[in-house]
Amino acid sequence: MTPAKWVRIWNERLPGTPLVLTQVPAAEADALMRAGEADAGFVRLPVDRDFFSAIPLYTEDTVVVVPKDHVITAAEEVTLADLADEVLFHPLDDVFDWDAPPGEPGFERPATTPDALELVAADVGLLIVPQSLARLYHRKDLTYRTIVDAPRSQIALAWPEEATTDRVDDFIGIVRGRTVNSTRGRATPPEPKQQKKKPAQGAAKQKGGKPTGRPVRGRSGGRPGKPRRKS
């Protein structure tokens, strides 16, 4: 994720409330929010809808990571059929739930995606990942190509449904593009200060300086006179 835009908007609207970002492996995001150590998170769907609320944001392209001198780099895009004879690693933290993993299985299942990339760099197999992970773990000796018919990964903003606070709702509003004037998902603007009302001009005062609220008329010479009786 690149949440810089949303962070900037947050800081503009809520300058007194810090927004702390924590980068964690995808497999740990669920537990972090369940433990109350994070208010919300960007995750890959699906999530446990009995516990989390989620807003789908976008769908990622899927790519195959290969050594820079691999024959696949001659094409701009590939299909799963093009990879049928290739050794493909499926790490234990693989984000795809394959019914039947493509390609030839590797000699082992690496524990993590970075471990699998080390094997790709050693030219003993290839790796299929969402494009964001290929960018996150970029190496100078590796590159990637889009797979046009592979499963795709959907990114969402998720949060514990029972723990939706006003500030979480503010962040949801920012991510969804609500303006500062929207009635939901924003900080409550401060109430305008009320101006003190001045006594009416010419109001008479009692002892102690308290206004009587009864306007009077003055006689010539500027001295106040008695109020006229109503007929």
- The CATH number of the domain where 142 resides is what? 3.40.190.10
Q: Would residue 184 count as lying in a domain?
A: no
Question: For residue 4, what is the enclosing H or E element?
Answer: helix 4-13
pLDDT in tens, 148-179: 999 999 999 999 998 889 999 999 999 999 98
Judge if 95 and 144 occupy the same domain: yes
For position 216, what pLDDT does the model report? 42
Structural domain count of the chain: 2
pLDDT of residue 218: 44
CA distance from start to end of the chain: 82
Q: Tell whether the model's pLDDT for residue 31 goes beyond 80.
A: yes
User: 79 with 127, same domain?
Assistant: yes
Say if residue 29 is in the same domain as residue 95: no
Nearest one of 64, 65, 45, 66 to 56, comparing CA atoms: 45
Q: Residue 217 — very low, low, confident or very high, per pLDDT cuts 50/70/90?
A: very low
Q: What is the mean pLDDT of residues 68-80?
A: 96
pLDDT in tens, 168-215: 999 999 999 998 877 554 454 455 555 555 554 544 444 455 544 444
Is 80 in the same domain as 133? yes
* CB-based contact 81:148 (threshold 8 Å): no
Report CA-CA distances (Å) from 127 to 8, 88, 102.
35, 6, 10
* In-domain check, residue 204: no
The answer to whether residues 127 and 113 touch, using CB atoms and an 8 Å cutoff, is yes
Q: Does residue 198 sit within a domain?
A: no
In a shared domain, residues 73 and 18: no
| pTM of the model as a whole | 0.70
Give the domain-ending residue among 151, 183, 217. Answer: 151
Residues 169 and 144 occupy one common structural domain: no
Together in a domain, 76 and 119: yes
Same domain for 19 and 75, yes or no, is no
What does the pLDDT look like over 93-116, one tens digit per residue?
Answer: 998 988 888 999 988 899 999 999
> What is the dihedral sign for C-alpha 88, 91, 96, 98?
positive
pLDDT at 198: 54
Question: 165: domain range?
Answer: 4-59+154-175
pLDDT computed for residue 221 by the predictor: 47
